[in-house]
Structures are given as structure tokens and as C-alpha cells.
Chains A and B, each alone.
Chain A
Amino acid sequence: MRGFSYLEGVSTLRLDPGRCNGCGLCEQVCPHDVFSVSGGKAAVVDRDRCMECGACAMNCRPAAISVTPGVGCATAIIGGWISGAKPSCGCA
């Protein structure tokens, strides 16, 4: 994803190193290389690359990772504002 970057300092991604068991799944599932695992612990390399897809948190067995996942779609967010519900895109 070189050449692409979105707004800084907005991601809801949080990692609790105390809970991490170093399984490395977060590093495997992240489509933006946000994590790096070394010495049995995961670390967030670049939080601003996170697109909040939620794959890491979903696959973190010890629940060391938290993120508020959702759709990054303007139409969906407007719909959410109007209906007061969680934003959802028209895909299905």
C-alpha cells in the first residue's frame, strides 16, 4: 500500500502487551502490516495504517487486541446518522 495513507491518529486499535501470547496471528491476518511479532510479543508498528477491519481482534485468542470495526463508507455513515443505527453498507 505504498503511496496510500489516510488520516492520522484516528484508529481505535489498542494492543495490551500483557495479554499477548505471541501466537503471531495478528501479523498474519493484517492486510496492512500493522503488527510485528518478535521475542514472543506482538507490537503495533504503525497504528495509522490500520483500517479497522477487525481481523486481528477477531483472531486474538487471549483478547489482547481491541478495535472498533466497521465500514469506512461515507454513504453508510450518513445512513447511520439518519437512522441512528450502526453504519452498514448496501452490499448485503
Chain B
Amino acid sequence: MRWGIGRGSWRVAPGLYCVGEAGPGSPVLVTANCKMSFDALRRELDGVDAWILVLDTAGVNVWCAAGKGTFGTGELVRRVRAARLERLVSHRRLVLPQLGAPGVAAHRVREECGFTVTYGPVRAKDVLRFMENGMKAEPGMRAVTFTAMERLSLAPVELVGSLKPLAWASAALFLLGGIGPGIFSPGNAWHRGAGAVAVCVAGILGGAALTPLLLPWLPGRAFSAKGALVGAVVAGAFLAADGTSTGAIPGVATTLAVSGISSFVAMNFTGATPFTSPSGVEKEMRRAIPLQAASAVLAAALWIGEAFIR
């Protein structure tokens, strides 16, 4: 799952589920039909009697689905009616994960099906405490976190996502690598192409793994700047480790390429974080993309040009 392999096929059938010996007085907890969300909730309800109402979000987690509106007022009201919940339970309360709120208007749910929405905690692990507290959230239960482990667990998906563009870039780099005084040299294509692909991989690792991990400690606010800095450091290590690409031109080309790629990949990581805003990302992109493109073009020009002056 965390590698993004077959993610979409891990779905739970939408509808009403019974946990323990759920009865008319048992609470009704609402979640998405994403397997990760459903399992996280079910794990926490060990030994509890409750109903779980699963909405059809096409297998997407609660927060993302709420953002798109699939975890939304309409779907919730439909599922409440389809399950004939009003006959099954004596109370009229639904407990929703807090992160479902961007898609659900509590007042409209009440108007349309008579059930009152109570927003529970952000994390499933707090749901039992929340209910024991009389449906009151303790400090910390309502805020999202972004720990090093949470950040690192996102890296595999980012890496897998970069494989396809990397494959295309590699093909282009092997072709370009062969260009030189002898017009095209297969030996050069292989040797120089492989070196360039390694530079791309270094940039991707910098932007997709190192930058997320080091995020809170990297200076600046823009992800592109953080990624560029990490890329420059990675390029330094790369040059130190690879004795063959010594000299000013390969050094500058490598540094420009690694930090440009790392900056771009890190900027994409904004979408996986729980604190960046679309307005902010757009502003950052308008500034960063021209710089990233310029560094990539300059790096490529230096790299191709270098073949002619050796």
C-alpha cells in the first residue's frame, strides 16, 4: 500500500458494518471505504459495540475524499437512508472523523436526514477516548501532526511516482550522451548517459526522501528552496564520491541538475503534507518553476557542450 502498488483496488464494500454486539444504543461511526482508514478505525474498536457506516469514496482516504466531496453530505445522507439507520438505532447521532469536515456540512445532514453530526478526533486511535469523554475532544485530538515517521512513510509513493518520468528522461539522456565531436558515439552514450541518469536519481532521492525527512530543520518556507539546498548538498557528496567527473564544468552541471531536480520533486511534496495551502503552492510555483527550468537547461547545455571540449 505504502509503495502505491495496487492502492486503488484496496476497497471496502460501502454500507453498514456491525462491530461486537452493536444494538440500538450503540454509536454510529462513519468512515471512508479506503482500506487503510477502515482498518485503522476497526482496530481501535476492539471489544467495543458500535456501528461503522462506510461511505463510497472510491477507495480514497477520508481527508482527500472530503476535499473532493466524495466523502460528502450527499453520500452520507444516501448511506444513512440506504441502511435504514433511523430504524436500527434509537439515537440520532453520527460520529464523523474530523478530517471529513471539508466535505460534509453538518447542518445540512441534519436537515436532510435528521441525524446530528458530531466531529470526532483526527486520528482513529483517539476515538475511544473521545467517546468515553462524552464526545469531547481533548487538547491535541483536533490538530494534525506531521512527524518524521509520517513524513518518511510518504517517501515510497513519491519515489514510485517518479519512476515513469525517470524512465523517459533516461532514454533521452542516453541519446544525448552520445552526442559529441564524432556526431554520435554508442560508447559515450552508455558511459555519459549512465552518469546523467545517476545525477537524476540523486536529485529525486534528495527531493522525495531527504527533503521530507529533514523538512522542519531546513531553512526557509518554500519547499522548492528547501529541495534546492538539499540538492546542492547531495551534489557535493555525489561529486566527492565520483572522482571521474572532476573539473569545473561537470561540477557546475551536476550541482545545477541535482538541485533543480531536487527542488522540483520537493515542491511536489507539498501535495502530501497536511499544512500547505493551494494559494501558497501556486505562488511558490510561479517563482520556482522558471528557476528550476533554467537550471535544468543550463545543466544540459554544459553537459552536452563538455563533450566537445574534452
Looking at the assembled complex, report how far the CB atom of A37 sits from the nearest CB atom of chain B, in whole angstroms.
13
Give CA–CA (A70, B139) in the complex, Å.
27
Instruction: Tell me if B283 counts as interface (CB < 8 A to partner A).
Output: yes
Interface size class of B (residues with CB under 8 A): 35 or more
- By the criterion CB–CB under 8 Å, are B268 and A75 in contact? yes
* B137 and A10 form a contact (CB under 8 A): no
Distance, CA A75 to CA B107, complexed state (A): 34
- Known contacts A71-B67, A89-B64, A51 near B277 by CB under 8 Å: yes
Which residue of chain A lies nearest to B57 when distances are taken between CB atoms in the complex? A92
Chain B 86-119 near chain A by CB (<8 Å), digits 1 or 0: 0000000000001101111111000000000001
Q: Is the CB of A51 within 8 A of B276?
A: yes
Q: Give the total number of A-B pairs whose CB atoms are below 8 A apart.
A: 142
A76 to B221, CA, bound (A): 20
Instruction: Say yes or no: B142 contacts A31, CB within 8 Å.
Output: yes
| Known A29-B119, A72-B281; contact A58-B105, beta-carbon cutoff 8 A | yes
Interface pair B278/A72, CB less than 8 Å apart = yes
A33 CB, min distance to chain B CBs, angstroms: 6
Q: Report B249-281 CB contacts with A as 1/0, cut-off 8 Å.
A: 000000000000000000110111111111111
The interface on chain A, measured as residues whose beta carbon lies within 8 A of the other chain's beta carbons, has a size of 44
Question: Residue-by-residue, is A50-92 near B (CB-CB < 8 Å gives 1, otherwise 0)?
Answer: 1111111011010000001111111111100000000111011
Q: Which residue of chain A has its CB nearest to the CB of B267?
A: A74
Which of B103, B142, B281 makes the CB contact (< 8 A) with A74? B281
Q: Mark B278-303, 1 if CB is under 8 A from A, else 0.
A: 11111111000000000000000000
B60 nearest CB neighbor, chain A only: A92
Cβ of A55 to closest chain B Cβ, rounded Å: 4
Bound: A90/B276 CA distance, A:
17
Task: Point out the residues of chain A lying under 8 angstroms from B124, CB to CB.
Answer: none
Q: Indicate whether B183 reaches chain A with its CB closer than 8 angstroms.
A: no
B145, CB-defined interface residue at 8 Å: yes
The reply to whether A92 and B59 form a contact with Cβ atoms under 8 Å apart is yes
B232 within 8 A of A: no
Q: Does B5 contact A (CB under 8 A)?
A: no
Shortest A5–chain B CB gap in Å is 6
B222: which of A7, A76, A92 is its contact (CB, 8 Å)?
A7
Within the complex, the shortest CB–CB distance from A82 to chain B, in Å, comes to 13
Whole-angstrom distance between the Cβ of B216 and the nearest chain A Cβ: 4
| Contact of A19 with B by CB under 8 A | no
List residues of chain A with CB under 8 Å of any chain B CB. Answer: 1, 3-8, 10-12, 25, 28-33, 49-56, 58-59, 61, 68-78, 87-89, 91-92
